[in-house]
Structure 1
Amino acid sequence: MNVSMNQARVFTSRHHIWMMTAICMGAFLSHFTAGIVNVSLPQFTRIFQTNLAEVQWITTGYLLVITSLLPLMGKLGDRYGYRLIHNLGYVSFTISSIMVAFSTNLTILLILRMVQAIGASMFQATNIALITIHLPKEKRGRALGIVSTAVALGGMTGPIIGGWIAAWFSWQWLFLIHVPVAFAATLLAFRFIPVRGQERKRVPLDKVGALLFIVMISSFIFGISNGSRLGWLSSETLFVFAVTTVALSMLLVWEPRQRVPFLPIKAFRIPAVFYGLLISTISFLLANTVLVLLPFYLFGIAAISPSTAGYILAAYPVSLAFTGPLCGYLSDRYGSRRFMFLGLCGIGSGFAALALYLGPLSIIEIAAILALIGLGMGLIASPNNSFIMKHAPAEHIGSIGGMIALTRNAGMVCGAALGLGIVNGGDNHATGLESFRAAFGINVLICAGALIIFGCGIYFENVRRKNKPKMKEAHKQNTLEGEKTL
């Protein structure tokens, strides 16, 4: 009997390891493919005889589609099963990755790139829900830390590999190089992600809410991504943000009236979920700002070679890769809030150093600051994800998992828009250096705002916890009085 139980335990442990491998491969690939084409965008303008504004949609369109569809895919996971949506996403992603390499013109390439993004949104929206369902509570934080590490490594290695391909191979390899990994991830997902474990509910899909949300988030991302190019006060930009405002207003009026709303409105009323999602957005905004800005500073003002800059920028993912799983494991034992607080302080300290001392800083000191920011992200990402999912209602874990992925992508887009907007403002060496310092100074203020949100969230969470017994007692008393009346 003991032998059988030990064998089952060993099998379960091995099964979880392979399941996590399959999930992490997808998390890596979706962000790897997002960044691999960036350095080759000038090459695409020559290949397809077009301008950079159109070619940029290879990157911008990919990220926009993912961000727009994440809540929808999470909702479909709630309804049809997270495993089904997740694994179908792998199939779509793999097939479209092969097909996009054989595009004969830019239009076909962009269409197939959007199909690739649809697949990526399917497994991004459901991977956290799968971990929440199939792993015990004491292992979730560490698992989510590993996923966060895979995301960071994918985002950082994509541009490096893309640069090598641009130098030595044809553009098709930008979309083919990851196909063997995607194929292996698909096989592992179908083999090791359990079929059972989720209670599906056949609830109606709020199609109007879904459409309003997609219009709102798409117009917002389009606006902030193109604001610096079109002009923040141009008629085009103002029109796009007007569409965002109208769609948001209609969504806020529509959703509370629905029996099963598209967005998990009730879950947002839980302070831990609400401020956890806000902190997720802000942390990725801060991290992506520095990752977008520093290459411009290193290449332009500091005049550092690309290879040296690559080693400096690697300090961020290396630090995050080390601290992410460790902090996730420790948050399982000691709770998440103290790690989130320390992480915000670490990121804020890194930006304060860049804002005050960027010019005189040596290469080693810049790398050390990047490592500090990576440490801060490691302290925040997986403990925060575990914290959110811990407080999310069971019936909304798919939707909340999709919202976590959405905040990550939205934060990255906002960070890139902020960084590029500041860079475009610098015309000479002095002004350029001051603009970099100003951008990092703004990020210090944003980080301070995140700490205030964090503190307010803890306060309201404690108030809610104290009032919960009173509310239960009042409900019980009302029930007894109603029975007496009858």
Structure 2
Amino acid sequence: MELLLKPIIEKPNETGSGHIKAAAPVRWALASLSLSMLMPSLSTSIANIALPTLAQAFGASFQQVQWIVLAYLLAITTLIVSVGKLGDIFGRRRLLLIGISLFTLASLFCGIAPTLSLLLAARGLQGLGAAMMMALTVAMVGGTVPKERTGSAMGLLGTMSAIGTTLGPSLGGILIAGFGWETIFLVNVPLGIANLLLAAHFLPADRPNAKTMQGRPDAIGTLLLALTLAAYALAMTMGRGSFGAVNIGLLLATAFGAALFLLAQAKVKSPLLRLSMFRDSTLTAGLAMSTLVSTVMMATLVVGPFYLSSALGFDAAEVGAIMSAGPLVAALMGVPAGRIVDRFGTHRMTITGLVGMIAGLFLLSAMQGRFGAAGYIGPIAIVTANYALFQAANNTMIMTDIQPEQRGVISGMLNLSRNLGLITGASVMGAVFTFASGVADITAAHAEAVAAGMQITFIIAALLIVATLGVALAGLAFARRASLLEEVS
């Protein structure tokens, strides 16, 4: 952690000798923000490994225990924008402390839950705490580090998220085997207490903004958005990729809910989301790109295990080791990517990251069946390294020049765009993979069908990133045109 923080907090003084005296408080503040990003991502990945054990422990079916994951993700997805807005109104530091406390207590309740129903309720509360932590962590970067170090800080947060994702399966397996399933939740308790102490002592205080406090919080908009997002998330996750009448009904409910939400936002005095924000081409393009790229990245997690096991013949342990290569590369690249963004600029590095992803995805498709594990790990390393660069650049571009009173809600929207991409990718790219394989049940497909499905899926994934690159280039052209008009006027 010390090595990760050092390049961000140490800034030479005007004489070129020594460092600013505030380095130590900034170091500990960044440590708190890092833990606030690590803990939610760890709790996402660590629970997946425990589902078979939990099904046995509670005498439940797979369909029942999968709600241990879904309850957590639904809480985050439906509430992350709302809690970001509340942070803007009542103070981001105050709400982050509440979020850390709630997450820690909910983790304790998960670990001691005697029934599956109580465990699911505790996971929902844990998801609410995680939503607060994820939304407000990114929002607080602007008040914690100098503007010229924003990219490095965003890269650090990306690294911590990737570490949590990478560490979850292996740590979960060790804890379950040695101490029981309860410990995969209880491990968050000491982390949460340490994080709460760091946040209380070192995070900079922010006062509630008088402008955002005018009028009452938008309860109707908050409810409509939560219900709409819940309907969409359920539509994408129920049925395990096969769409039926329930899924279609939920998508129709999503469209109806979205229309009602937009109508409500246009009429209330203090809306949850000011629709005028979307006139900002940088924000709109950044959110759209985040969703598309996350959709593609989810394809690697959906397709990879089937391809490695069915087409290449690796066993479960080997598949797990190979699949960890991508998150590991993302973790290693997070901070360097942030420093590159600080040096060369957000627009340039956004485009560079997308071009690198396109190259890696086409190479992944072309290399299928060749060179064994190396033929998979090499292209995946290219994809994830450039994804880390894109994420650091895009997050920095969105969060750098926004108004202070909007940091919480925009941070929530940024996290929401990523979550929606992951949810969509799991369903849509999984359906593409199944269709391209030419079988109704991918688990019963022959090796050749799986390999063909993988090849087509990653070609489509590459084309989605080509479309994302088009969005980035259009956004850059619009920004340059606006800058020229300002200079002329």
Check whether TM > 0.5: yes
Contact 2:217 2:272 in 1 (8 A): yes
Deviation at 1:166, TM superposition (A): 3.8
- Provide TM-score, normalisation by structure 1: 0.90
Letter in 2 for 1:69: L
Tell me the residue number matched to 2:466.
Answer: 448
For structure 2, the residue ranges without an aligned partner over 5 or more in a row are: 1-12, 435-439
Q: Tell me, yes or no, if structure 1 residue 73 matches structure 2 residue 91.
A: no
Q: Give the alignment partner of residue 228 of structure 2, picking from 216, 219, 222.
A: 216
The alpha-carbon deviation at position 318 of structure 1 amounts to 2.9
Report the CA distance between 1:120 and its aligned residue: 0.6
Indicate the percent of aligned positions where both proteins have the same amino acid.
Answer: 27
Flag structure 1 segments of 5+ consecutive residues without an equivalent. 474-486
Aligned position for 2:406:
396
Contact 2:96 2:137 in 1 (8 A): yes
Residue 133 (structure 1) aligned with residue 151 (structure 2): no
Match of 1:176 among 182, 186, 200: 186
Compute the displacement of 1:171 (Å): 1.1
1:123-162 aligned within 5 A? 123-162=133-172
* Cα displacement (A) at 1:462: 2.6
Deviation of the 1:468 alpha carbon? 4.1
Q: Spell out, residue by residue over 1:100-148, the C-alpha distance to the aligned partner (whole angstroms, 9 max, x if none).
A: 1111111100000101111111111111111112221011110011001
Q: What's the offset of the Cα at 1:63?
A: 0.8
Mapped to 1, the partners of 2:250 and 2:219 lie a distance apart of 22
Distance in 2 between the 1:386 and 1:198 partners? 24
Distance 2:284 2:485 in 1: 18
Structure 2: how far apart are the matches of 1:196 and 1:218? 31
State which of 479, 482, 489 in structure 2 corresponds to 1:461.
Answer: 479
1:479 paired residue number: none
Work out the CA distance in 1 between the residues paired with 2:274 and 2:166. 32
Identify which range, 97-106 or 428-437, moves more after superposition.
428-437
CA distance in 2, matches of 1:360, 1:372: 17
Task: Kindly indicate whether the alpha-carbon contact (under 8 Å) linking 1:351 and 1:443 is maintained by their aligned counterparts in 2.
Answer: yes
CA shift, 1:29, in A, is: 0.9
Q: Distance in 1 between matches of 2:220 and 2:487?
A: 37
CA–CA distance in structure 2, aligned partners of residues 316 and 452 of structure 1:
25
Q: TM-score, normalised by structure 2?
A: 0.90
Aligned partner (choices 28, 46, 52) of residue 62 of structure 2: 52
Aligned to 1:408: 418
Decide which moves more: 150-159 or 299-308.
Answer: 299-308
Partner residue in 1 for 2:108: 98
Aligned to 1:202: 213
1:244-293 CA deviation, whole Å, 9 max, x = no partner? 01001112222123332211422221111111111112222222220232
Task: Determine the structure 1 residue equivalent to 2:4.
Answer: none
User: Deviation per CA, 1:41-95, whole angstroms, max 9, x where unpaired?
Assistant: 1222222122111211111121111011111111110011000111111001111
Distance of 2:57 and 2:380 partners within structure 1: 36
Number of residue pairs the alignment of both structures matches: 466
* Paired residue type of 1:222: L
The structure having more radius of gyration, on CA atoms, is: 1
CA distance in 2, matches of 1:185, 1:301: 44
Report SS of the residue matched to 1:101: helix
In the TM superposition, what are the counterparts of 1:333-372 in structure 2 within 5 Å? Answer: 333-372=343-382
One-letter amino acid of the structure 1 residue matched with residue 447 of structure 2: H
Which residue, 26, 31, 34 being the options, matches 1:24?
Answer: 34
- Check the 8 A contact 1:264/1:399 in 2, yes or no: no
Q: Which string of whole-angstrom CA distances, capped at 9 and with x for unpartnered residues, describes residues 3-58 of structure 1? A: 9x99x965411111110111111101101101111122122222212211121111
Residue equivalent to 1:477: none
User: CA separation of 1:282/1:96 partners in 2, compared to 1, >3 Å: closer, same or farther?
Assistant: same
1:262 and 2:280 matched: no
CA contact (8 A) 1:78 1:395 kept: yes
SS at 1:255 equivalent: helix
- CA 1:280–1:162 in structure 2 vs 1: closer, same or farther (change >3 Å)? same
2: distance between equivalents of 1:18 and 1:40?
33
RMSD: 2.3
1:36/1:161 contact within 8 Å kept = yes
* Alpha-carbon distance between aligned partners in 2 of 1:354 and 1:184, rounded to the nearest angstrom: 42
Residues of 2 paired with 1:370 and 1:198: CA distance?
44
**Between 84-93 and 206-215, the greater mean CA deviation after superposition:** 206-215
2:299 maps to amino acid: T
1:461 CA displacement: 2.2
SS of 1:162 mapped into structure 2: helix
Q: Which amino acid aligns with 1:433?
A: A
Q: Secondary structure at the match of 2:31?
A: helix
Mapped partners of 2:38, 2:399: distance in 1: 21
Q: Describe the SS at the equivalent of 2:129.
A: helix
Question: Within 1, Cα distance between the matches of 2:109 and 2:239?
Answer: 32
Distance, in Å, in 1 between the alignment partners of 2:29 and 2:193 is: 15
Query: C-alpha displacement at 1:207, in angstroms?
Result: 1.4
Taking the aligned partners of 2:292 and 2:24, their CA distance within structure 1 comes to 36
Which segment is superposed worse, 188-197 or 140-149? 188-197
Residue in 2 that maps onto 1:482: none
Corresponding position: 1:433 with 2:444: no
Amino acid across the alignment from 1:212: L
SS of structure 2 residue aligned to 1:36 = helix
Q: Which moved more, 1:243-252 or 1:191-200?
A: 191-200
